[in-house]
Amino acid sequence: MTARVGVVTFPGSLDDGDAARAVRIAGAEPVRLWHGEADLRGVDAVVLPGGFSYGDYLRCGAIARFAPVMETLVDAARGGLPVLGICNGFQILCEAHLLPGALTRNQHLHFRNRDQVLRIEAAGTAWTNTFQPGQEVLIPVKNGEGCYVADAATLDQLEAEGRVVARYVRGNPNGSQRDIAAITNPAGNVVGIMPHPEHAVEALTGPSLDGLGFFTSVLKHLVGAPA
């Protein structure tokens, strides 16, 4: 059976089509979910794509967390549903308290788009289990508010529990604390990542194919997961 992976569209979502394409290339069936509908349509996993949901007004992700789809999603995620938040999706997961900390304005105050090397630190999550620990991958980063911040205790805890999923190496593009690019929840099913793996899934349009691993990981995870 083909896994069905939901991709949520909020008003202002921009990379939803890209996320759906990545899901398809990874071998799963993308299912488009609408922010205004609470129904998750029985999907096996969900991607919250990048963009500027609700124009990033008030605060990135702050309005999106109150969308009807999020109410269902938060419960499902707590119940183990794999959820990947990319960029704006990461911000939404933090606002929804599925992940700790927050994403703030890049330290240099500019939007920045570049091809970024990441080191995979946690290869046990639902979204990174096809990588090797310590593996370096090349993924585009593009954000204006991607600077990850949390208090020292939280950062220490994330590191102690192995919940830092990826770090920026060879240059930190936004000033994130401890070079954090991606984190996960204690159960490892919810991952927030600032760079864009969905933009590194085709040789023709991406800097590498490394992004595909995030999407194939969730398929592997689903095969192994109890029904």
Residues with a catalytic annotation lie at 87, 196, 198
Pairing of strands 147-149, 102-104: antiparallel
Site string for other proteins, 149-178 (x = CB under 8 A): ---------------------xxxx-----
Q: Does 41 bind other proteins (CB under 8 A)?
A: no
Q: Which stretch binds other proteins (CB under 8 A): 93-101, 115-123, 184-192, 214-222?
A: 115-123
Q: Which stretch binds other proteins (CB under 8 A): 68-76, 92-100, 198-206, 214-222?
A: 198-206
**Whole-number Å distance between alpha carbons of 195 and 182:** 8
Q: Does 59 bind other proteins (CB under 8 A)?
A: no
**Whole-number Å distance between alpha carbons of 212 and 47:** 14
Paired strand residues for 193 = 86, 182
Q: Does 113 bind other proteins (CB under 8 A)?
A: yes
Query: Please, what is the minimum distance in Å from the beta carbon of residue 124 to other proteins?
Result: 17
Q: Does 44 bind other proteins (CB under 8 A)?
A: no
Q: Does 144 bind other proteins (CB under 8 A)?
A: yes
Query: Please, what is the minimum distance in Å from the beta carbon of residue 48 to other proteins?
Result: 15
Contacts of 137 (CB under 8 A, 6+ apart): 117, 118, 119, 120, 131, 166, 200, 208, 210, 211, 213
Phi then psi for residue 39, to 5 deg, are -70, 125
Contact indicator for 192, 90 with CB cutoff of 8 Å: yes
Query: Please, what is the minimum distance in Å from the beta carbon of residue 27 to other proteins?
Result: 16
